[in-house]
Amino acid sequence: MDNVVDGSSEPAGPPRTDVLTSTYWQARYDEGRTGWDRGGPSPMLGSWLEAGILRPCRILIPGCGRGHEVVDLAARGFDVTAVDFAEAAVQNLQTRLREKQLEAEVVRADLLEFTPPEPFAVIYEQTCLCALHPSLWHAYEARLRQWLLPGGLLCALFMQTDKPEGPPFGCDLSAMQRLFSETAGWRWLGHPHRIDHPMGLHELACVIQKTPIPSLT
Ligand SMILES: C[S@@+](CC[C@H](N)C(=O)[O-])C[C@H]1O[C@@H](n2cnc3c(N)ncnc32)[C@H](O)[C@@H]1O
């Protein structure tokens, strides 16, 4: 796994002090410090399915963690690709998929280097952005856009917190509207919806579309 940021595989050069590494996240899984994990799919997944916003398609789940949503969507016939750079997360998900005899592509990779062979109709982004240092947000936003088909949907759950040292780094609405802006090639659909999180925080559920026709600017 060449593109995973960890002590053994990081290329020579200056250390990336601005990024939380796979070693950091692996340690959180090893130590059971996974307060973000609901133990099952987010209720918002069910709402988006019920509303017909999510229909079987080629879908990406970046920073999937233990991937409860991956299992649920795979069982519903979605063509799911799930990415995480923590070995524990990937292994846990692969084991559960095997036990349930379900298929999904599970990739261990750094999202800042991940290059899928084809774009996706939908990206389900559940508290992955808030796990990235804000200095990486622009690079990640550009990747999300690149990974989507024109007109594709970003179904996002943005964690709300004011803990500046993170993670989670707060993804407040105005910052998200600036990041996923019209000039950057995004269009917001409907209104953000508040979802309580077991950590005592809450998320904003937002549906943002990659504009169907690329801007000429
Ligand atoms: C807060 S957890 C959320 C996990 C999952 N989405 C959930 O809601 O249960 C963030 C996840 O993103 C992964 N992650 C963070 N930065 C990453 C990166 N640069 N590349 C790949 N995965 C990353 C971590 O390993 C962790 O599993």
Per-residue b or e along 9-40, where b marks 16 or more CB atoms closer than 10 Å to that residue's CB:
eeeeeeeeeeebbbeebbebbeeeeeebbbee
Domain contains 5: no
Ligand 1 surroundings by CB, under 6 angstroms: 25, 36-37, 63-65, 83-86, 89, 110-112, 126-128, 131-132
CATH of the domain at 141: 3.40.50.150
Distance 158 CA to ligand 1 centre (A): 13
Report yes or no on 143 lying in a domain.
yes
Where in the sequence is the domain holding 113, given as residue range(s)? Answer: 22-210
pLDDT tens string, the chain, 217 residues long: the values are 333 333 333 334 444 444 689 999 999 999 999 999 999 999 999 999 999 999 999 999 999 999 999 999 999 999 999 999 999 999 999 999 999 999 999 999 999 999 999 999 999 999 999 999 999 999 999 999 999 999 999 999 999 998 888 899 999 999 999 999 999 999 999 999 999 988 889 999 999 999 986 555 4
> Is the distance from CB of 198 to CB of 192 less than 8 angstroms?
no
Expressed in angstroms and rounded, the spacing between residue 187 Cα and the centre of ligand 1 is: 25
For residue 6, being part of any structural domain is answered with no
For strand 148-160 and strand 202-210, is the pairing parallel, antiparallel, or unpaired? antiparallel
Contact 23, 176 (CB under 8 A): no
Longest dimension (CA), the chain: 49
Q: Which two tokens stand for residue 82?
A: 């799930």
Is 4 contained in some domain? no
Q: Is 112 within the bounds of a domain? A: yes
pTM attached to this predicted model? 0.91
Decide if 141 contacts 183 (C-beta within 8 A).
no
Number of domains into which the chain is organized = 1
Residue 64 located in a structural domain: yes
Q: Does 141 reside within a domain? A: yes
Whether 10 is in a domain gets the answer: no
